[in-house]
């Protein structure tokens, strides 16, 4: 990341691109035990949180990510009573999970408590459900927490993690997925953010293979816009423990609570992959030419 007085820049040297937002004020900066956290007030995207120089969320577009990381999985499970969120320190995913009345308990396992405390201060609308009696918080290592989870105890696991670098690398491993599979009840589902289909198809394919090796029988990918993330196009990967992942309770149109992006038709549309993604997933191989990437 580069800083100047008026702009926040996130530079992706690997992809050869950058994303910038005009800044009104640098509201907060601190080095927690785990990472550098910065909060900005921007001109056009509201409040912005960056971790180690990478954008985590903004006021303007976080609803896309939070809705698509929760509702597709919860509406694909017949009775999601116990939900666990690995990561998700800004609490937006937790809020969306608790919109589902059938959820009896939602546990958020976040490594860095400071992310949650700063979200409560600067993104209070995302933390509206934090005092819900169904909400439980554990601040510590999500990989260890899942390794020690009781078998057959969870219905849906949502891995709302950062990119596969640093402490988050283990959240993309076969061993972690095997622990998730062990902790899930029959018919359980896992969903995890899986980066940009345009920039990061190798990561998506590696996740697909690792989930299957970890014990999941079906893996599905869904995609949606996300303006503040690299390329503006993001994805999540959903894995089923027993048989095909099916949208068993998806609404015909709008769900029984207010959403801004998710709906029944959007659920089905997100699971409709463009041809290059279908080919890559079917063949387990990424071809740069499919997305116009120049040869090295």
106 plus 216 within the same structural domain:
yes
141 plus 276 within the same structural domain:
yes
276 plus 156 within the same structural domain:
yes
87 plus 223 within the same structural domain:
yes
**What would the two tokens of residue 122 be?**
């600067």
pLDDT-derived band of residue 1, with 50, 70 and 90 as boundaries? very low
Task: Let me know how many helices (H) and strands (E) the chain has, helices first.
Answer: 9, 13
Q: Looking at residues 238-261, what average pLDDT do you find?
A: 94
117 plus 12 within the same structural domain:
no
Model pLDDT, residue 283:
92
pLDDT-derived band of residue 76, with 50, 70 and 90 as boundaries? very high
Q: Measuring CA to CA, which residue among 179, 247, 251, 197 is closest to residue 218?
A: 247
119 plus 48 within the same structural domain:
no
How far apart CA 240 and CA 230 sit, in angstroms, is 27
CATH of the domain at 159: 3.40.50.150
CATH of the domain at 36: 2.30.140.10
Q: What are phi and psi of 154, to 5 degrees?
A: -125, 145
- The gap from C-alpha 90 to its chain's centroid, in whole angstroms, comes to 11
211 plus 269 within the same structural domain:
yes
- The reported pTM is 0.95
47 plus 67 within the same structural domain:
no
128 to each of 59, 98, 106, 117, 260, how far by Cα in Å?
A: 14, 10, 14, 13, 17
Model pLDDT, residue 13:
85
51 plus 68 within the same structural domain:
no
> Where a domain ends, among 37, 58, 79?
58
Specify if 296 maps to a domain.
Answer: no
Pick the catalytic residue from 61, 90, 155, 160: 160
Q: Looking at residues 198-209, what average pLDDT do you find?
A: 94
pLDDT-derived band of residue 3, with 50, 70 and 90 as boundaries? low
Instruction: Write out pLDDT tens, residues 8-59.
Output: 999 988 888 899 999 999 999 999 999 999 999 999 999 999 999 999 999 9
How far apart CA 277 and CA 272 sit, in angstroms, is 10
Domain extent, residue 36, equals: 2-58
> Where a domain ends, among 30, 58, 86?
58
Kindly give the pairing relationship between strand 7-12 and strand 2-3: antiparallel
Specify if 254 maps to a domain.
Answer: yes
Domain count along the chain:
2
286 plus 202 within the same structural domain:
yes
49 plus 12 within the same structural domain:
yes
Instruction: Write out pLDDT tens, residues 113-160.
Output: 999 999 999 999 999 999 999 999 999 999 999 999 999 999 999 999
- Is 160 assigned a catalytic role? yes
105 plus 14 within the same structural domain:
no
């Amino acid at each position: 990341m580069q800083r100047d007085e008026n702009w926040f820049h996130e530079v992706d040297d690997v992809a050869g691109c950058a994303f910038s937002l005009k800044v009104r004020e640098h509201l907060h900066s601190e080095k927690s035990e785990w990472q550098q956290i910065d909060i900005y007030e921007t001109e056009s995207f509201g409040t912005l949180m960056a971790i180690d120089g990478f954008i985590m969320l903004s006021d303007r577009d976080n609803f896309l990510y939070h809705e698509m990381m929760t509702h597709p999985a919860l509406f694909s499970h017949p009775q999601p009573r116990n939900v666990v969120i690995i990561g998700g320190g800004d609490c937006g995913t937790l809020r969306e999970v608790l919109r589902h009345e059938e959820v009896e308990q939602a546990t958020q396992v976040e490594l860095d408590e400071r992310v949650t405390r700063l979200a409560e201060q600067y993104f209070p609308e995302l933390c509206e459900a934090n005092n819900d009696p169904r909400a439980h918080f554990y601040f510590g290592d999500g990989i260890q927490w899942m390794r020690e989870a009781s078998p057959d105890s969870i219905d849906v696991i949502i891995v709302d993690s950062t990119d596969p670098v640093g402490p988050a690398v283990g959240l993309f491993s076969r061993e972690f997925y095997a622990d998730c599979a062990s902790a899930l009840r029959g018919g359980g589902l896992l969903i995890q953010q899986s980066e940009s289909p345009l920039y990061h198809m190798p990561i998506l394919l590696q996740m697909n293979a690792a989930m299957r090796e970890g014990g999941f029988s079906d893996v599905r990918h869904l995609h949606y816009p996300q303006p503040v993330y690299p390329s503006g196009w993001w994805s999540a990967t959903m894995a089923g423990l027993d048989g095909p992942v099916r949208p068993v309770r998806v609404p015909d149109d709008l769900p029984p609570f207010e959403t801004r992006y998710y709906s029944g038709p959007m659920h089905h549309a997100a699971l409709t992959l463009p041809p290059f993604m279908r080919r890559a997933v079917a063949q387990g191989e990424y071809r740069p030419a499919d997305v116009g990437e120049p040869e090295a």
